[in-house]
Amino acid sequence: MQMRKLGNLEVSALGLGCMGMSSAYGPPADTAQMVALIRRAHDLGVTHFDTAEAYGPFTNETLLGEALAPIRDKVVIATKFGFNIDPDTGARGPGTNSLPAHIRRVAEDALKRLKTDRIDLFYQHRVDPAVPIEDVAGTVKDLIAEGKVLHFGLSEAGVHTIRRAHAVQPITAVQSEYSLFWRGPEAELLPVLDELNIGFVPFSPLGAGFLTGKIEDINLIQNKLGLEPAGDTPTAHSTTIILANEPSGQWIKRSPYENPQMLANLDLSRAASASGIAVEQIEHVLLRANRPLDAPERIPGQELIDALQANYPAVVRLVGEEWFRAAMNRRGGTQRAQGAQ
């Protein structure tokens, strides 16, 4: 496994996001199996593990603490604060909460659940409009001075917020969504991160599963979300209504297939499958093509050991494949993909 730098924090070139093991994608997975998965990831060379108080809440941090306890000094643990979660009951309140006292309480509780004496990377999960980012950065700066936190990060923050926070406490990493499904960071975010020497940690690199080509029966999604069935006609995809998180933070109903590049992305994944190449490997090429060689990439959230192991081989040969280049041309992505060579 190659290594990358998040600012001055060295991590494996790919990391493991653990959210789906405890929340968000159905019932929590079997604890023993997930402990085995996390340890297997480390055996494969992964040193970067990502969690948050919101995942569960709390239970994902507990899981990660158990799994990594025997190898704590060999790994980097990232967790997050910032949602309005009661630290005693786990009840989720509206909006966000990055008041300094709340940040401190989240840090202290996370240290206990993670069975550690320091948090390697502490992210603000979402920007809190009610708390100046300078106050947030100052609080984390104090935690760093106390040795309870080693590095500061932001998630889904805009470039102006990043600059203001960075002026108070240098930011090590910014985490945002980035994939074939959503390439928004390329316009403003990535250039600013390069300028400030801040690492980039992309999440949902498979578009929450829609880029795998495996979601063919939309009714399965409807059932999972408790919505009305879409029907079994081939045209159901274009009219299916699901929930999607908008940049504004508001939840609306829409279809992922409204994305104008969705069909091209599915064609790409199907072509990859026909050639015996996993779409996860194509995503790895995309992320490498858009970042300098010393920048990090990661594929979070794999729940099966076999799937995890399949994601790590180098596949830069893809850019030489005619079908891959044709598919990237349809998406307007060939120029960046060539950078992976």
Residues that are catalytic: 55
One-letter amino acid identity for 104?
Answer: R
Phi, psi torsion values for 80, nearest 5 degrees: -140, 155
Cis peptide leading into residue 57 (ω within 30°):
yes
Q: CB–CB of 71/339 below 8 Å?
A: no
One-letter amino acid identity for 226?
Answer: G
- The string over 275-303, giving b where at least 16 C-beta atoms fall within 10 Å of a residue's C-beta and e elsewhere, is eebbbbbbbbbbbbbbbeeebbbbbbbbe
Which among 322, 286, 312 is positioned nearest to 206, based on CA atoms? 286
Which among 109, 169, 87, 173 is positioned nearest to 133, based on CA atoms? 169
Please state the length of the chain. 341
Query: Distance (Å, rounded) from C-alpha 187 to C-alpha 262?
Result: 20
Q: CB–CB of 316/340 below 8 Å?
A: yes
Query: Distance (Å, rounded) from C-alpha 152 to C-alpha 165?
Result: 10
Which among 281, 258, 301 is positioned nearest to 16, based on CA atoms? 301
